[in-house]
Amino acid sequence: DTEVTQTPKHLVMGMTNKKSLKCEQHMGHRAMYWYKQKAKKPPELMFVYSYEKLSINESVPSRFSPECPNSSLLNLHLHALQPEDSALYLCASSQELTSTYNEQFFGPGTRLTVL
């Protein structure tokens, strides 16, 4: 299984809603990532988990809250988002965080629209 899955595929939410994005991989990867991608821009790193511990938080606003319940799952909890948070949210995984060959496998993404 060389797949990263993400749910939901699309999400529309109001600014007062609370929702969660989910990501799952069964490749035994120990590093997992959340990226945000706006149209015609490269992926922008948000968070990195290594061995289920938060390793990197790229100064992301607290309205985004990551969680790694176990080595296969990664969640992103959303609360009080702004319209400018509308984007494609990508989850990725790789074997290890500190590895020279660190191919990241991406999930299909969640297209988020904040009204």
Q: In whole angstroms, give the CA distance from residue 114 to residue 89.
A: 13
Out of 5, 7, 99, 113, name the contact with other proteins by CB under 8 A.
99
Q: Is 97 in the site for other proteins (CB under 8 A)?
A: yes
Per CB under 8 A, contacts with other proteins among 24-83 are 40-43, 45, 56
Of the pair 17, 104, the CB lying nearest other proteins is at 104
Question: In 3-state terms, what secondary structure has residue 84?
Answer: helix
| Min separation Cβ 52 and other proteins, Å | 18
**100: exposed, middle or buried (C-beta count within 10 Å: 0-12, 13-18, 19+)?**
exposed
| Min separation Cβ 70 and other proteins, Å | 23
Q: Residue 30 contacts by C-beta under 8 Å, 6 or more apart in sequence?
A: 50, 51, 71, 95, 96, 97
| Min separation Cβ 80 and other proteins, Å | 26
Angle at 61 between CA 49 and CA 18, to 5 degrees: 90
Of the pair 14, 58, the CB lying nearest other proteins is at 58
User: Which residues lie near other proteins (CB under 8 A)?
Assistant: 40-43, 45, 56, 88, 90, 97-109, 111
